[in-house]
Structure 1
Amino acid sequence: MHKHLTWTDRLKIEKALKEGLKPCKIADRLHVHNTTIYRELKRGTYTHLNSDLTTEERYSPEIAEARYRENLAAKGGELKIGSDYELAAFIEKKIGEEGFSPAAVLGEIKRLGLTFKTQISEKTIYNYIDKGIFYGISRESLPEKGKRKRKYEKVERKKAARTSAGESIEQRDPEVDERKTFGHWEGDCVCGKKKTKQALFVLSERLTRQEIIMKIPDQTAASIVAALNKLERRYGKRFSKIFKSITFDNGSEFADCAGIERSIYGKNRKRTKAYYCHPYSAFERGTNENINKMIRRFLPKGTDFRKVTAAYILRVETWINNYPREILGFASSNDLFSAHLAAA
């Protein structure tokens, strides 16, 4: 399915035409297929009368947008959304431009107290997407493509490749599993392009789903400890209250359990408690796994982290932490984390 265009795209097309760009160059700039631009130019072209009474063909984003709205109304004669262009525009902006899921869009409407002429369900939004009602949105463009979260099956425990560096997850307080207590995190690394060393060290808080993303020079135990040292300096002596425990897999980068747990404010002082999952049991760090998928939307597999700036990583972190999460009643992680942080 080809990509549809938004109002912002149409303004960009008008600007590009004034700059003298050809349709193929405009397509490259907007990351769409050439045929999308040719269709759009046909939709928005009109005959302009000059002051000297000569005429010329011009592109009008207003005309293109109006014809799009007419098309929406024609498709939606029997649809609930009908001529509710405000709701259609809101859905297109949130999903097409900001990367929201249909469920998150409805959650955001509720959270902000917005009212539209029409009320529709998540299922209806998916149906409209399948019918091509919304410009710029298809199943392929959705975060999870409309798929439901898969269930993890219990697997036979396999022997670890190395002895666990610290205490097993089996020793962790059961209340951590229930996500009722703040300050228990999961730690992981997100790999970059093959044959490059740079990676991301990510921490996910289990109760609020708050995410911390830190760029590290390599996936070594020393780099993990250095990242935690930096984080402890950021939070100071509150660190141990905010990071009561961190659960890792048994990767070699997390092997320095003593370094992970030891505070920079005293050799005999602990800053956190490290636990280690069973081998081949990624589901024991389910929060990490789910949020890593969100990270990969912006930094897909094969990304060369040498070329990714700290500012961009912060943008990704901020987007994730401000995203309305269905599992949190469509509050954001940042809202919940900030409340707990104030009390720490």
Structure 2
Amino acid sequence: MSHVHSTISRRSSKHLTPVQRGQIQALLRLNVPKAHIAKQLGISRSTLYYELQRGTVEQLTANRKITHVYFADTGQLTYEQRRKNSCSPFKYARVQPFLNFVTEQILTNRLSPDAARGLAVRQQLFDEIVSTKTIYHYITLQLIPVKNIDLPLRVRRRTYGKSIDQRSEDVAERRKFDHWEMDTIVGKRKKGPVLLVLDERVSRKRHMIKIAEKTAQAVKDGLQSILALYPTAAKIFKSITVDNGSEFARLTEDFSDIAIYYAHPYASSERGTNEKQNSLVRRFIPKSTNLESITLAAIAHIEQWINQLPRKLFDYDCAESIFSSYLPQVS
């Protein structure tokens, strides 16, 4: 087959994604030749070999022999660290007077970030400033004392119940077990089945099931099926934090014995456990996947893999073990 008529899709970006790194790890475990791996992923052999250098570590086998093994997580962490080190010095510290001015204009005079920046430019108040996009980025990262809720144009959605601000400090700081985050994962099609995921915030234990559609009724049915797994569910599910999607609109009404908290709009970092664990799911189920083709057995396998994943946070114990250790305390 000539190059012109090749059906292999080529990557348009220059950097490997976490999903591709997971594919490399899986294919290596299957002893697929490196040339075939590069061809299957649509990358050059040199890109693959550079990635193997980034993500390969030494391990000691049961026979006390040293072997070299590639791990996707190691490759990703090395890549992120090198990218961080290659960036220009952080401008944030140098523009503090400007950011203080912007903060005051937003909170006191109710200006938008763009209007506050424009005012500073027009009056030539500062020698160095940042773009409007960077201001929004700083707000998302909580580097300035402004929240998305303070920006009217970013808060068009209503909140269906208690704000996340009403959670106790013990819950917010992950000092108490039995508090969860919930989200949905969509596939290629906007309509049809989605994954309902539920993560315990202390142990990182995940439940993941497929529900018929992204609706309030389907979420209710799915959550009820998860709660039914525990005879003492009322003691294990004290609160659930969700976003402001319409599929979660009836949770407070449908589950009155569970405290339901709603994160601020456009603030996915407030459900950090969901976001991190969703990225693990994407190693197996890319965004382009039609979820109708994903079997229940495959979903159960991914859930088990996440719950048994050794985590540095727990001194390389797994979420399943940590979760199980807490259960006797609440049963």
TM-score (norm 2): 0.61
d(CA) in 2 for partners of 1:81, 1:218: 45
Q: Distance in 2 between matches of 1:306 and 1:285?
A: 26
Contact kept, 8 Å, 2:183 with 2:243, in 1: the verdict is yes
The match for 1:281 is 267
SS of structure 2 residue aligned to 1:303: coil
2:86 maps to 1:86: no
CA offset digits 1:29-73 (Å, max 9, x no partner): x9578998xxxxxxxxxxxxxxxxxxxxxxxxxxxxxxxxxxxxx
> Does residue 132 of structure 2 align to residue 146 of structure 1?
no
Residues 188-267 of structure 1: pairs in structure 2 closer than 5 A: 188-236=183-231, 238-262=232-256
SS for the counterpart of 2:214 is coil
Match of 2:48 in 1: none
Distance 1:191 1:331, change over 3 A: same
Query: Considering only aligned residues, what root-mean-square deviation do their CA atoms show, in Å?
Result: 3.6
For 1:218, the aligned partner's letter is: E
2:31 is the counterpart of 1:9 = yes
Q: Which amino acid aligns with 1:221?
A: A
Q: Would the alpha carbon gap of residues 145 and 293 (structure 1) be closer, same or farther in structure 2, given more than 3 Å must change? A: farther
Residue 331 of structure 1 aligns to a residue in which SS?
coil
Matches within 5 A, 1:1-344: 8-9=30-31, 27=36, 31=40, 86-89=65-68, 91-92=69-70, 95=71, 99=72, 101-102=73-74, 142-143=75-76, 146-147=79-80, 153-154=141-142, 155-157=147-149, 158-159=151-152, 160-236=155-231, 238-262=232-256, 270=257, 272-344=258-330
Measure, in 1, the Cα distance between the counterparts of 2:160 and 2:218: 16
- The superposition leaves residues 267-305 of structure 1 with CA deviations (integer Å, 9 ceiling, x where unpaired) of xxx2x1100011111111111111111111111112111
What is the Cα deviation at residue 156 of structure 1? 3.9
Evaluate the alpha carbon distance shift between residue 331 and residue 289 of structure 1 in structure 2; reply closer, same or farther with a 3 A threshold: same
Q: Determine if contact 2:191/2:214 at 8 Å carries over to the other structure.
A: no
In 2, Cα distance between the equivalents of 1:294 and 1:300? 10
> CA, structure 1 residues 307+170, in 2 after alignment: closer, same or farther (shift >3 Å)?
same
Range moving further from structure 2, 195-204 or 154-163: 154-163
Question: 2:252–2:259: 8 Å Cα contact kept in structure 1?
Answer: no
* In structure 1, C-alpha distance between the alignment counterparts of 2:277 and 2:293, rounded to whole Å: 22
Query: Highest Rg: 1 or 2?
Result: 1
In structure 2, relative to structure 1, the CA distance for the partners of 1:9 and 1:252 (3 Å cut) is same
CA contact (8 A) 2:148 2:264 kept: no
Contact 1:203 1:212 in 2 (8 A): yes
Q: TM-score, normalised by structure 1?
A: 0.59
Paired amino acid for 1:334: E
What is the identity percentage for the equivalent residue pairs of Structure 1 and Structure 2? 32
Which amino acid is the alignment partner of residue 209 of structure 1?
R
Corresponding letter in the other structure for 1:162: R
Change (3 A) 1:246 1:34: closer
Say if 1:83 and 1:341 are closer, same or farther in 2 by CA, change over 3 A: closer
CA distance in 1 between partners of 2:286 and 2:77 (Å): 14
Q: Give distance in 1, aligned partners of 2:29 and 2:250.
A: 52
- Alpha-carbon distance in 2 for matches of 1:147, 1:216: 34
Q: Which runs of 5+ in 1 are unaligned?
A: 14-23, 37-74, 103-141, 263-269
